[in-house]
Amino acid sequence: EPEVTQTPSHQVTQMGQEVILRCVPISNHLYFYWYRQILGQKVEFLVSFYNNEISEKSEIFDDQFSVERPDGSNFTLKIRSTKLEDSAMYFCASSLEEWDTQYFGPGTRLTVL
């Protein structure tokens, strides 16, 4: 069964450093998403992406964040200058169509020291 994959599973970084989280969505899916979950809190929407453009973003997704689909398979989330409060699980998801079910990856645990 096709699945969303994410790398790395755990990333540790120093405050102020840039990080790139990588996702490989399900191969024929066209819509891509990032969510995050701070430890003990709710899963929160960050951004959705379609046709090489951001289609919706939350207020969490500020200028420090960016997304990119650099090739036909990867979907990345970049945090330009990490802060302690960026420590969280980051989940990528994809869907076939805009109105379709979203399937989530296993997540990347980001720890900012």
Partner 1 sequence: DAKTTQPPSMDCAEGRAANLPCNHSTISGNEYVYWYRQIHSQGPQYIIHGLKNNETNEMASLIITEDRKSSTLILPHATLRDTAVYYCIASTGANNLFFGTGTRLTVIP
Tell me if 43 contacts partner 1 by CB under 8 A. Answer: yes
Nearer to partner 1, 2 or 16 (CB): 2
Of 13-21, 39-47, 61-69, 75-83: span binding partner 1 (CB under 8 A): 39-47
8 A C-beta contact, residue 48 and residue 30: no
CA 99 to chain centre: 19
Binding mask 52-91 for partner 1 (x = CB under 8 A): ---xx-x------------------------------x-x
Tell me if 109 contacts partner 1 by CB under 8 A. Answer: yes
Instruction: Give the separation between CA 24 and CA 44, rounded to whole angstroms.
Output: 20
Task: Indicate the DSSP class of residue 85.
Answer: G
